[in-house]
Structure 1
Amino acid sequence: MTFTVERLAEEVQGTIWGDRDVIIHGAESIERAGPHDITFVAERRRLRALRQCKAGAILVSKELAGVKDREDVPPAIIFVDDAQLAFIQILRKFRPQRPRPQIGISEDAWIAPSAKIGEATNVYPGAYVAEDVTIGARCDIYPGVFIGPGCRIGDEVTIYPNAVLYPDVTLGHRVIIHAGAVLGADGFGYRFEQGRYKKIPQLGTVRIEDDVEIGAGTTIDRGMIGPTVIGEGSKLDDQVMIGHNCEIGAHNAFASQVGLAGSVTTGDYVRCAGQVGVADHVHLGEGCTLLAKAGVHRDIPAGKMYVGVPARPKEEQMQIAICEGKLPEMKKTLEQLAAEVDRLRAILEQHGLAEPA
């Protein structure tokens, strides 16, 4: 597909600075863009990348309007309210979503006689749908998917290859489960008695609410009693671990390798960066943010940003980090002070003004 800068500006309701007739064939990152590509800058810290940028046009957030005075800008700039959102909109024009195939239910899928499957749903070869399963309309169940007995799946759900739904898992509408995810495995529940671990039965379920996306290789354990819940609109990256009986609020976002122990609860709009670990029974308050590798052992207040191990408020942790950076200098100063004290003590002892150490 080919568009002029003027046509793309109309698409995103932007204002053009420069050559409105530049021909654009594609959308790329600022590092990879060529003379016929459009790219974007949404943050001031990314402006330094313009020095090597070869794009034909660039989307820029209006708050960075001063960029037009630089010598290293592309031939055309489109100023918009939000450059990243505008770029996503343009990206869809160059890379439209492939049409959804209509294969129906493959003869090479195994479907239990008691399973109920909605209209226009695709079940690919090698999928397994067990007894008493209900699948809604316009779903896509890819090869190698296992859906255990009693599962309930809403409309327009996509389950990618080799994902596993243990018995009685519930998925809402428009849920996306990526390849290799496992939902509903037993929680990590044991009692140590007489030198042995005794398994605690895990008799609960997993409930995934509407518009949730679950990344590849992510695992969500079933509750011991009652459900493990992922709230509406939440997004889980690849290789996230959610322990048994966790209750995740709406519109949470967890990056890769986040791990939540059992019975963690969160408010809405909680964000966890990569490798955050949360101890059992902790509550994460609404709108809080945990930065990468934070280790959380106590409740986090709503709206706060925490970092470090153990997790502390960001401002406090930054002060600690600054002090840690000065430790070699402080050690040297302390050694000098100790030597000076020893010297002064020796002088006082010589004059009989101090007891020998």
Structure 2
Amino acid sequence: MSVGMAAPRSVYACDPDRSRGRLFGEPPSQTRSPFRRDCDRVIHSTAFRRLKYKTQVFVFHEGDHYRTRLTHSLEVAQIARALARQLGLDEDLTETLALAHDLGHPPFGHAGERALDACLQAHGGFDHNAQTLRVVTALEHRYPDFDGLNLTWESLEGIVKHNGPLTDRGGAAIGRHRDRGVPAGISDYIRTYDLELWSFASLEAQVAAIADDIAYDAHDIDDGLRAGLFGVDDLKVMPLAADMIAEIARHYPDLDDIRRGAELVRELISYLIGAVVAEARRRLEVVRPQSVDDVRNHGDVLIAFPPGVAQAEAEIKAFLKRGMYRHPRVMRVMGDAEQIVFDLFARYQSVPGDLPAEWLPDAAGHETETERARRIGNFIAGMTDRFALTEHQRLFDSTPDLR
């Protein structure tokens, strides 16, 4: 099958007609599948709209052409749907997971996440995947019968397992959670609704995860070029990029740097999508799963880069880490951004009345220190970059410019 053709629905795809359902029972939609309904709920959520003013790498006011969490999520969804279409997977579930994967990110990108994690260290820490689960199960208040969005089990599973299983079958944390344990927001929730943290997620979830990698590899290169942090020719230190740049030069010898960069990004996305499709088909041919449960129980990912491409992709990440994420200009701004989060958290703890009325504790109830800290953390995590700056300016005499 050529990469341009859509595959028929696969036996190992998630079937919306066989969904495990929702925590709170609802009448089925007459016009939409359960997964399409999930996707629409994400799109209409307050948290999704707020992604417009949340940092990807550059703070929102640095320029209108840089990615935000919203545009990044849309780009992830486009890539994920392209992959799902080739592999015969459910595109609606795939799109849901792609659009929802960053709903829990705080303001100022990973700098904000580091700061909130430090602020909440004594109270379970902060993890943006766990925060995404909180958003879609508790923090959205749009429906009369439940908090959150009441997404299907399959959507919640894909959100929680964005980076793979969190525990072994015995419940012990594994991987990046081994030292600190399963994040509090997830470990608390699975007591109510078991998401089987020990198993791998559906292929739809695995596709959304690798689409995230493809999107931010390619588009962070695009933003880094636009910001002047590095030039097109600087990318030649990576063999894959060097080959693509040479091929572009052969076809377009007089192309200006802006168009050279744009062409490189397009070529890179197409190349990585094609590589993932080929490797997924190879692995699926070997494993031959007959159901989505076969996928979950396989014990390894089935959506992945081939080994050589995985090495090239790791080189891209390493280049971006050196040339972009740790660039002195970016590091200075992110350092100031972290301080804004630290300041806000400390202020709300010491002067609770500075919080909006809807974020104050119930006067009739008793709140533990951890519950109080996590309530403040939830409020800050929901802020946009712009609102965090406005709040800091309201509460403090001096606020960093973040430019």
TM-score bracket for the superposition, by shorter chain length: under 0.3
More strand by share: 1
More helix by share: 2
Taking structure 1 as the reference length, the TM-score comes to 0.26
Query: Which structure is richer in relative contact order (CA contacts within 8 A, separation 6 or more)?
Result: 2
Taking structure 2 as the reference length, the TM-score comes to 0.24
Larger radius of gyration: 1
